[in-house]
Amino acid sequence: MGLGGISLWQLLIILLIVVLIFGTKRLKNIGSDLGGAVKGFRSSMQDGESEAEKEQLADQSKPDADFPENKAKEKDETKA
């Protein structure tokens, strides 16, 4: 018994039918397009994560302007 009740022979027959319908060249193109899309998605996810980390580090290094003591420091710095 194979995946979800489908035997190995049934999977091979389905694969053969798909190859006969689409052809190997078209399947190769579909596979390369799908691989390129996945690669682009992964790289954009990594870029987004790195930008989020940079923003988080930048936010941590800035003093919070909402606190009154930080507002007083900012006023003192602008007077000097």
pLDDT (tens place) for every residue of the chain, 80 residues total: 556 788 899 999 999 999 999 898 998 999 999 999 999 999 998 888 888 788 877 777 766 555 556 555 556 666 65
> In whole angstroms, what is the distance from residue 27 CA to residue 14 CA?
14
Give the number of other Cβ atoms within 10 Å of residue 27's Cβ.
13
How high is the pLDDT of residue 3?
61
How high is the pLDDT of residue 49?
82
How high is the pLDDT of residue 9?
92
